[in-house]
Amino acid sequence: MSELPKARIATASLAGCFGCHMAILDIDERLIELMQLVEVDRSPLTDKKRFTQRCDIGIIEGGCCNEENVHVLHDFRRNCDVLIALGQCAIMGGLPAMRNAIMHSDAPLRECLDEAYITGKYIRNTTHNVPNDPALPLLLDEVYPCSQVVEIDYQIPGCAPSGDIIFDTLSKLLTGKFRGFERDMIKFD
């Protein structure tokens, strides 16, 4: 009865590989400790697709490569007090951002799609079309880091971030003790 109310956490994977969500599981048995402090709202971990109520912390994996990513990110910003970019893709675009600076190309997105679906040597695409089903979200001209779309409060680096840095940061944030990362935990790979 005297227990503190649990903090609510939401997570989403945008233009990421789900590696950062897997990295959350690398917290291992400390997850039990963490679950004493939090309740998970909207997240692939709970399979909840919408916010059921306002959240204390939102965790974003991946940057924005299509319009749906942007909508989800705005939704998170609106519904979360603190927003965390988790991992290199969320922080700076990561691997998907490789398509932003294709050499000698004036239309890198077009060139990327052509190579992936039409002209690439090892492609077996019998339709010879770039997928264009109306259900597919429109791709953005570039892949954007989360911080270029909404305000981000904290960034946890790594590809994927270690279970240690995720646990350390979350548990310190939840208890109001976060004062920056331990230097030996900062890694961009």
Partner 1 sequence: MSGTKKETGFTFTIDGVEITAYAGQTIMEAADEAGVYIPRLCDHEGLRHQGSCRVCTVKAGGRSVAACTQPAAPGQAVENETPRLTKMRRDLVEMLFHEGNHLCPICEASGNCELQAMAYRLDMTEATRFPYLEPCRALDASHPDIALDTNRCISCGRCIRASQDVDGKGIFGYVGRGIHRRVAVNGENLADTDAEVTDHAISAEVCPVGCIIRKRVGFAVPIGEREFDHGLIGHDIEEKRK
Residues in touch with partner 1 (CB under 8 A) = 88, 91-95, 97-98, 100-105, 142, 145, 147-148, 152, 155-157, 159, 180-181, 183-184, 186-189
What's the min distance (Å) between Cβ of 49 and partner 1?
A: 29
The alpha carbon of residue 32 and the mean position of all alpha carbons in its chain are separated, in whole angstroms, by: 23
CB of 109 to partner 1, least distance (A): 13
Q: Which are the contacts of 123, defined by CB distance < 8 A and separation ≥ 6?
A: 116, 117
Cα separation, 32 vs 30, whole angstroms: 5
With vertex at residue 45, the alpha carbon angle to CA 31 and CA 33, rounded to the nearest 5 degrees, is 15
Question: What 3-state class would DSSP assign to 12?
Answer: strand
Q: CB of residue 166 vs partner 1: minimum separation in angstroms?
A: 14
Shortest separation between residue 173's beta carbon and partner 1, angstroms: 14
Q: Which is nearer to partner 1, 68 or 142 (CB)?
A: 142
The 8-class DSSP code of residue 152 comes to -
Q: How many CB atoms are located within 10 Å of the residue 18 CB?
A: 12
Between 72 and 91, CB nearer to partner 1 = 91
Nearer to partner 1, 18 or 188 (CB): 188
For partner 1, the closer of residues 41 and 168 by Cβ is: 168
C-beta separation of 87 from 157 below 8 A: yes
d(CA 34, CA 176): 14
CA distance 186 to 1: 39
Instruction: Give the nearest distance from C-beta 91 to partner 1 in angstroms.
Output: 4
Cβ closest to partner 1, residue 125 vs residue 148: 148
